[in-house]
Amino acid sequence: AQKITQTQPGMFVQEKEAVTLDCTYDTSDPSYGLFWYKQPSSGEMIFLIYQGSYDQQNATEGRYSLNFQKARKSANLVISASQLGDSAMYFCAMRPASGGSYIPTFGRGTSLIVHP
Amino acid sequence: DAGVTQSPTHLIKTRGQQVTLRCSPISGHKSVSWYQQVLGQGPQFIFQYYEKEERGRGNFPDRFSARQFPNYSSELNVNALLLGDSALYLCASSFYQSTDTQYFGPGTRLTVL
Structure confidence by residue, pLDDT tens digits, A42-57 = 888 999 999 999 998 9
The pLDDT score that the predictor gives to residue B101 is 85
Distances (CA, A) of B77 to A109, B9, B23, B103: 27, 15, 12, 21
A28 contacts chain B (CB < 8 A): no
Q: Chains A, B: CB contacts under 8 A, how many?
A: 61
Count of beta carbons in the 10 Å neighbourhood of residue A11: 16
Check B107 against A4: CB less than 8 A apart.
no
Check B101 against A46: CB less than 8 A apart.
no
User: Among B55, B37, B17, B48, which residue's Cα sits nearest to residue A89?
Assistant: B37
**pLDDT tens sequence across B87-100:** 999 999 998 766 67
User: Minimal Cα–Cα distance from B99 to chain A, Å?
Assistant: 6
The pLDDT score that the predictor gives to residue A99 is 62
User: Minimal Cα–Cα distance from A106 to chain B, Å?
Assistant: 6
User: Among A65, A87, A88, which residue's Cα sits nearest to residue A77?
Assistant: A65
Higher pLDDT, A103 or B19: B19
HSE, CB side, 13 Å, CA atoms: give it for residue A38.
15
Nearest chain A residue to B5, by CA: A44
Per DSSP, A31 falls in state S
| Contacts with A4 from chain B: Cβ below 8 Å | 42
Question: What's the rounded Cα separation, in Å, for the pair B42 and B39?
Answer: 8
Q: Which of A6-20, A27-41, B65-79 has the lowest average pLDDT?
A: A27-41
Which among B42, B55, B99 is the nearest to A106, CB-wise? B42
